[in-house]
Each structure stands twice: as C-alpha cells, then as structure tokens.
Amino acid sequence: MRDRIDFRLLGALLKKNRRENTSSFRKGNFDAVGFVMRLLLAGAFIAIFVIFFGKFVDMYLGIKLNNVSDAEERLYELLTLVYGAVLLAMILSGISQINQALFSADDMRVIAALPIGANTLYLSKIILIYLGQLVVACFTVLPVNLTVAAHYAVPTAYYPLTALACVVLPLMSVAISSILALPYHALKVFLKDKFLLNFIVITVLTALLLFLYAYVLEAVKELLLGDDMKYFFNEKVMTGIALCAKYLYPANLISNILLGRELLVSSLVIAGWFLACMAVSLLMIRMILTRSLQSRISGSPNFVKKVKPLAKSRLPFNALLRKEFLMIFRTPGYMFSYFAIAVVMPLLVYFCMSVGSSLAVKLIAVDSNLELAIFLTMLFGMLANMFCSTNISRDGMLFYSLKAMPLNYKQVIFSKVLLCMIVTAFSQLFSAALLAATSYITVANAAFLFVVGMMFGFAQICVATRADFNHPHFSSESDGEIKESGNTVSTVLVIGIVLSFALGGALLLTKMYFSLRGLSEAYAYLTYVITAGIAILSVAGSVTFLLVGLRDRFYRFSGGGLH
Amino acid sequence: MVNDEAPVREEIVSVDGLYKKYSKRADYAVEDVSFKVYAGEIVGILGHNGAGKSTTLKCLEGMLPFDKGAISICGHDIVKEPVKAKSNMGFVTDDHAVFVKMTGIQYIDFMADVYKVPQAIRQIRLDQLEKIFCLGDSIQNLISSYSHGMRQKICMMGSLVHSPKLWILDEPMTGLDPRTMRAVQDYMKYYASIGNAILFSSHALNTVAKICDRVVLIRKGKQVDDIVMSEFADRPDFDFEEYFLSNERQD
C-alpha cells in the first residue's frame, strides 16, 4: 500500500507544532529569567570560544607535517574535525528528539487515531526537528567559520558556502538520525524496566563524557598557561588527524565544499547520501510507526522482578522516603538529572581542580587548593542539587493526595529534604575523599570540605524546596514528568551561581591578598572562618525560610492547577 | 417496657456551613453546604459539571482549604486534627492520581505504611480486595503500564487497605468495566452494611438511585436538596433521573 505525503495535512501539522512551540512565549507561560539567563550564557560561551578558538587556529595552521607547512590542508583537517564533532552532537540529539517526537510526545496519542499517513506524520516531526537543528548549526558553524575567516585568507565563496553548510549539516544529521532512531528506540524499550542497568549505563556514559571534557580542559589549560601546544601535535598525532579527516564522512565533504575542493563530487555525494538516508528512514517508518504507536496506546507487558506479595511494614516517613526514591530512580530523566549527576559530580570537581590548581599557581602564584576546592564543591554541588527545585512539583496532582493522607506536613516535606541530603552526602563525601586521595587537600581539609559542602547543600535544598512549594509548577504530561524547568529552577540557579562565585572569589582574593604580603600562613584560618561563617548563616537563613509559615502554607496549599 | 427513642446513629461526617472560593474575587465554588453522613449510610453527591461536588469532597479530604464552616470526620475536626480525621477515611480522586512509578503491590504497601496497617492483617486485606477488583498478576506491574480502569481499581484498593470508617469516592464508576462496576456497587453496599459510611459523587444516576440511602443535590455551589431515597421506595413510578433533571431545569 502506498503512503503518499499529503502536503495539506503536513501544513496543518506544522501549524499545530508551531502553535505548541510558541506557547511557552505567551504571557504567563514565559520564563523570562531563564530565557535571559540562557541568552547570556550562550553569548558568554560563544565569546570565550571565539577568543580561544582564534588562538588555536593560528597555532594549528602553522603546524608543519614532514617539515612542510600547508595551511589549507590544516584548515581542511580542522574544519572536518569541527564539523564531525558538531554533526555527531546533532545526530545524538536528533536521535533523542525523533524518539521523543514519535514515541513519547502526548500529541501522538491523538494523532495516531487521525487519518494521517505515517510518512506525512513523520515528515512533520522531522521538519520541526530540522528547524531546531538549523538554529543550533547557526550558533556553532557560524562562530567557527567566521573565526577561521578572521585568521586565514579564505576565498570569497567561503561566506555563502558557510551559510550553505549551516543548512546542509542539519539535513545530514536529521537523515542519519532517522535511520538510527528506531534501533535506539528498541534499545530504550529493552532498558525500560531494567532500572539499575539503565542507571549504570547512563552514569558510565556521563562519566566517559566527563573524561572527554577533562581532556579538553587540559588542552585549554595548556593554552592558558602559554605552553607551546605544537608539542602536543607531533608527527604521529598529525598523521592520525590527517587520516581521520580523510575518512570522516560526511563531515569532510562539507569541508571540501567550503574550501572549493571537489565541489561537484562532494555536493553530489552529500545529496545522494541525504536522499538515500531519507528514503530508508521513510520506508522503516512506514513499516513500523503505526504498529509501534498502537502498542504504546494499548500498553505493553511490563513485568518487573517478582516480589513478595507484601513487604515489611515501614514507618510512614520511611514509606514516603522510599516513594520519593522510586519516583526518581524509575524516571530516566530524573535519574539522570539527579542520581547520575550526583555520582559523577566528584569527577567534575576533580577534573576542574586538576586544571584550576596549577592555573592558580601559575597565574596568581598562590597555592589556593582549599579555596578552589570549596568553590568547586559549592558550584558543582549546587548544580547537582538544582533538581531539588522540583521537589514539590514532581508530585504533581499527587501532592494533593499526600495532603489527604494522615501525614504530618513535616513528614511530607522532610522526607523530600532527607532524600536530597542523602544524595548530597554521597557526592560530597566522594568529592572530598577524591581530592584528599589525590593530595590536592589534606584529610583534615577534606573533612572540613565535606562538612561545609553538606551545610551549603542543606541550605540549597531547603530554599529550593520551599521556593517550589510556594510556586509549584505541575506537569501537564500524562506521566506527570516535568520536562521543562520553571522560574523557580532558574531563580535558584542564579542565586546558587552568584553565591558560589561570591564566596569562591572572596576566598581566593583573601588568600591572594595575604599571600602577596607573606602572611598567608598567619591568616590561613580566615578561609575556615569565612567559609564556616557563611555556611552557618546560609543554613540558619534557609531553615528559617523553609519553616516559617510552613504548616499554614501546607494547609492552604492550592497551587499547581487544581480547581 | 417499649423504648420509643430512636437508636443513636454514629456520626461519621459532619459538614456544617461550608464555604469555599478559589480566589478572593471569584464567586463561591461551594456556598453554605451542610450535611451529615452516618455509619451504615451510602450518600451520593449529585450535581451538574462544575456544581461543586469535587470541591466539596476535596475540602472534606483535607486537600483544599475552605473559607468558612466546619468539617469533622469521626468527631475529628479536619483543620484542628487533620491527621486523626484523615486516618479514618480512604479516598479515590476523580483523576485517579496514583504513583505510576510504583508497581501495584508497592502502591498497596505504601498506602498500608501511611495508614499504619499492622503487618499481620495486610495480606488478608489484600486477598479480600483482590477478590473484588481482580487485578491478578498485573498487581506486580508498574502502574504506568495500567489502563485507565486498572488505575481506578488500584486506587480503590489503596483507599481500602486500612478499612476506613469513611470511604470517599469521586466519580468511582468512570472507566470501570461492567463486571467490576457491579462488584464495586455490591462491595459498597456490603461495606456500608458493616458499619462504615460511603460518600461519593457521580453522574451515573442509575447507580446512585440503586445504592444510595441519601442524595445531596448541589447546584452552582449551593445545596438544594437532601433526599432520603427510602421515601420513594413505595412509589414504583418514581423516576430518579427525571426527578434530578427537573430539579436541574429549575435553574
């Protein structure tokens, strides 16, 4: 049976998608703080990237291979590697987006019953994903290409071809993602009920990404310290890069086009590649989409490990604690955002410490490992604990059910706080232990770091929980999962970042001030006093914020959309 | 000697002059609603969509605060002694809100823990409830995989695990298959007959007419009638549906 694409229906679906996607910008839904934060962060990131990448381009184009300098060949390699990385990121994101759009999005439950062909439906989703990736391509390819143009005499055609690259890269990414999306879906279905395996896989992948991040950090450090990175790019490494660029399809084809090499062949291969991928993916979609949607609607057998009929009885507080744990552990999004991040947080602190420690010594000639450790622990601990800003909202309408149960308000709220504290204790303990084990700080300082880390963590958890309690934002998804951060998350994030930088900066400046006067030994206690003082104040302030009027607020709670 | 005094009935629910509005500027969603429910009674709350049935029940369950009036469950004020009042009731919400990341059995366990059901009788209760609701092996599955009707069943099982004196149900028959609907109706009658009280809202007028002892009619937030169903028992021509609709038409 043929499944023609109905362009009228396609238009209607795109219109629906556009309306849904712009709904978050409407008055009342718009998270202005978060939007501005994201813009500022993106702007700052691009500015920093352009500065460092520019330096890197100068250095890299000057590298000689077999004592021969070939700037155009180096540029080809550089662009190929960058496009390869961008393409890889876009493919991974594309796979996830296609899966979300086809198999998780709520609208599919309705659309599945409408007289819309699988290919039309698929195309409407793909076009939307493509448009999103087009924006990402503009934010990545343009800074790279324009930085290159500022450091190397590129041909005039390079500029319009850069625009073409922005258009073509997401096309290729979407085409490849389309083919990989279905196997990924099968893997997800396989892992769906295997919560522990899921947790291990996600955590290991995150840790691997962190190792990659550490590698990049190391390179940045070398660049900052002014060491000659050419030593890193020796003959062997350069031969490997050249070989990699030669076979890194299809990223190298775009580099070819940009540099005017094999223009016709590269264009034809890209077009052929795209058409072949799309044809295969449309065929696969036509074969399985309808069946897959039907199985989603009918529900699938979902047996978990057989358990004893009833477990041993627990105290209500412990039952709430367990409920909270299960809710997070069995929701992949939550599990990654909190548990996996909390597990890899010590690695994050360690990697940044390894870079920051030597940077501090070289740039400001001060050994400030403890101060840096406090700053990093506070910053990354805060990022891991951001999740607590949804402590109430995660329950959704079930929060009202909890209200109707014979539970004290303290049991409901404190069970949430305690679970977060257990997670915080884990990440803070391993973080401090790792820094002590790698001799960045002494064992005594590690103990101090753990204690103040717990105090700051506790303060943040209390503030985040109460802030969310005051302004809950319940999900409208059928499973109640929160997929978008609200104003509370952005506000707690801003406060956390400002406080981390303020305390970290204050500690480093104090240390510098006394070190430059040769008094660092005499005034070493200041670090402890300042940190402990602010930690105590934070705890006192946040506990007050959490508890004042909590009982009354619990009784009067009527937010989140219940009418 | 003949005892002329009527037997003292155990009062389970007392709602006295209940007022509730959702915001200061809004009209009252519930206005001056008063009724009592006694042990052994099944009381239905009827009204059109948005009449205030669910709001009344949510105030009763302690989910929503109210502006004026008093509510007590088994003699415990819902505001002053919320934990004691709530210990005596089980509830099923209209949206069948349930922890979908738990398996059915874990949810029952959770509810038993919260209501402090002794270990010794949990399994007996579960077996009793299983006979009525027949979830079978599905009780070991994640609730997220349940159909609408199955979620309704697990909500009901969770609400009964502690054998509450008061069972509150908001639209209980929605989504149930005919066999379970009948089983639930029979169980409601049985449950009331052993000295408990049931308060429920519904649009299923046949069900209400069949099982209720009394019906509280609410229109636009106001209580307009409190009907004792036995008064119509000797009138075979009485059509409860027509009675309800004519009452609504008065608006």
Of the partner residues B64, B99, B118, the one whose CB lies closest to the CB of residue A323: B99
A264/B contact by beta carbon, under 8 A: no
**pLDDT confidence of A1, banded at 50, 70, 90?**
very low
Q: Does residue B2 surpass a pLDDT of 70?
A: no
User: Cβ(A233)–Cβ(A137) under 8 Å?
Assistant: no
Residue-level pLDDT at A366: 74
Q: Which two tokens stand for residue A331?
A: 């929701």
Angstrom distances, CA of residue A189 to CA of A264, A287, A298, A328, A497: 42, 18, 15, 18, 37
Residue-level pLDDT at A318: 92
**Using a CB-CB distance cutoff of 8 angstroms, which residues of chain A are in contact with residue B112?**
310, 313
> Mind telling me how many Å the CA of A313 is from chain B's nearest CA?
6
User: Cβ(B43)–Cβ(B212) under 8 Å?
Assistant: yes
Please identify which residue in the block is written with the tokens 């949510």.
Answer: B58
A331, B86: Cβ pair inside 8 Å? no
User: Cβ(B218)–Cβ(B33) under 8 Å?
Assistant: yes
How open is the CA angle B6-B8-B9, to the nearest 5 degrees?
A: 115
Model pLDDT for residues A106-121, shown as the tens digit of each residue: 666 666 666 777 777 7
Report chain B's C-alpha Rg in angstroms: 18
> Mind telling me how many Å the CA of B143 is from chain A's nearest CA?
9
Angstrom distances, CA of residue A153 to CA of A58, A71, A87, A159, A256: 12, 10, 25, 12, 16
Q: Does residue A560 surpass a pLDDT of 70?
A: no
> Which residue of chain A is at minimal alpha-carbon distance from B59?
A404
Write down the ipTM of this complex: 0.84
Q: Does residue A460 surpass a pLDDT of 90?
A: yes
Of the partner residues A301, A315, A319, the one whose CB lies closest to the CB of residue B110: A319
How open is the CA angle A333-A339-A340, to the nearest 5 degrees?
A: 80
Model pLDDT for residues B3-58, shown as the tens digit of each residue: 556 667 889 999 999 999 888 778 888 999 999 999 999 999 998 888 889 899 99
User: Cβ(A369)–Cβ(A359) under 8 Å?
Assistant: no
> Mind telling me how many Å the CA of B114 is from chain A's nearest CA?
5
**Pairing state of beta strands B42-46 and B197-201?**
parallel
Residue-level pLDDT at A226: 60
Q: What residues contact A91, with CB distance under 8 A and at least 6 apart?
A: A173, A176, A177, A180
Q: Where are the alpha helices (DSSP H) in B77-232?
A: 82-87, 104-114, 119-133, 148-160, 178-193, 205-211
CB contacts < 8 A, A to B, total 123
Mutate which: A189, A306, A308, A313, vs B, most B CBs within 10 A: A313
Q: Where are the alpha helices (DSSP H) in A385-437?
A: 398-404, 409-437
Amino acid at A514: F
**pLDDT confidence of A227, banded at 50, 70, 90?**
low
A327/B contact by beta carbon, under 8 A: yes
Task: Report the range of poorest mean pLDDT among A61-75, A477-491, B90-104.
Answer: A477-491
Domain ranges of chain B: 9-88+165-251, 95-163
Say how far apart CA A165 and CA A162 lie, in whole Å: 5
Q: What is the C-alpha end-to-end distance of chain A, expressed in Å?
A: 48
Q: What is the mean pLDDT of residues A516-535?
A: 84
A309, B97: Cβ pair inside 8 Å? no
Say how far apart CA B33 and CA B44 lie, in whole Å: 14
B83, A407: Cβ pair inside 8 Å? yes
Instruction: Please classify residue B172 by burial: count the beta carbons closer than 10 Å to its beta carbon, then call 0-12 exposed, 13-18 middle and 19+ buried.
Output: buried
B62, A404: Cβ pair inside 8 Å? yes
B113, A562: Cβ pair inside 8 Å? no
Q: What residues contact B165, with CB distance under 8 A and at least 6 apart?
A: B12, B39, B73, B74, B88, B89, B195, B196, B197
Strongest mean pLDDT among A239-248, A410-419, A475-484: A410-419
B106, A326: Cβ pair inside 8 Å? yes
**Using a CB-CB distance cutoff of 8 angstroms, which residues of chain B are in contact with residue A327?**
99, 101
A304, B117: Cβ pair inside 8 Å? no
Residue-level pLDDT at B1: 46
Specify the higher pLDDT residue, B212 or B97.
B212
Q: Which two tokens stand for residue B115?
A: 């209501």
Q: What is the mean pLDDT of chain A?
A: 82
Q: What residues contact B6, with CB distance under 8 A and at least 6 apart?
A: none
Label residue A561 left, alpha or beta by phi (over 0 means left) and psi (-120 to 50 means alpha). left
Residue B101 in 3-state DSSP? coil
Question: Beta-carbon neighbour count of residue A142 at 10 Å?
Answer: 15
Of the partner residues B102, B113, B115, the one whose CB lies closest to the CB of residue A326: B102
Of the partner residues A299, A304, A563, the one whose CB lies closest to the CB of residue B103: A304
Beta bridge partner(s), residue B199: B43, B168
**pLDDT confidence of A304, banded at 50, 70, 90?**
very low
**Using a CB-CB distance cutoff of 8 angstroms, which residues of chain A are in contact with residue B170?**
none
Domain ranges of chain A: 7-18+52-298, 316-556
Cα torsion for A338, A343, A349, A352, to the nearest 10°?
A: -90
At B4, phi and psi to the nearest 5?
-80, -15
> Which residue of chain A is at minimal alpha-carbon distance from B108?
A310
Q: Does residue A3 surpass a pLDDT of 70?
A: no
Mutate which: A191, A323, A476, A553, vs B, most B CBs within 10 A: A323
Q: Does residue A558 surpass a pLDDT of 60?
A: yes
**pLDDT confidence of A288, banded at 50, 70, 90?**
low
Of the partner residues B79, B87, B112, the one whose CB lies closest to the CB of residue A313: B112
A318/B contact by beta carbon, under 8 A: yes
Q: Which two tokens stand for residue B238?
A: 């009485």
Q: What is the mean pLDDT of residues A505-530?
A: 82
At A501, phi and psi to the nearest 5?
-70, -35
Task: Report the range of poorest mean pLDDT among A206-220, B42-56, B73-87.
Answer: A206-220
Question: What is the second-level CATH architecture of the domain B9-88+165-251?
Answer: 3-Layer(aba) Sandwich (3.40)
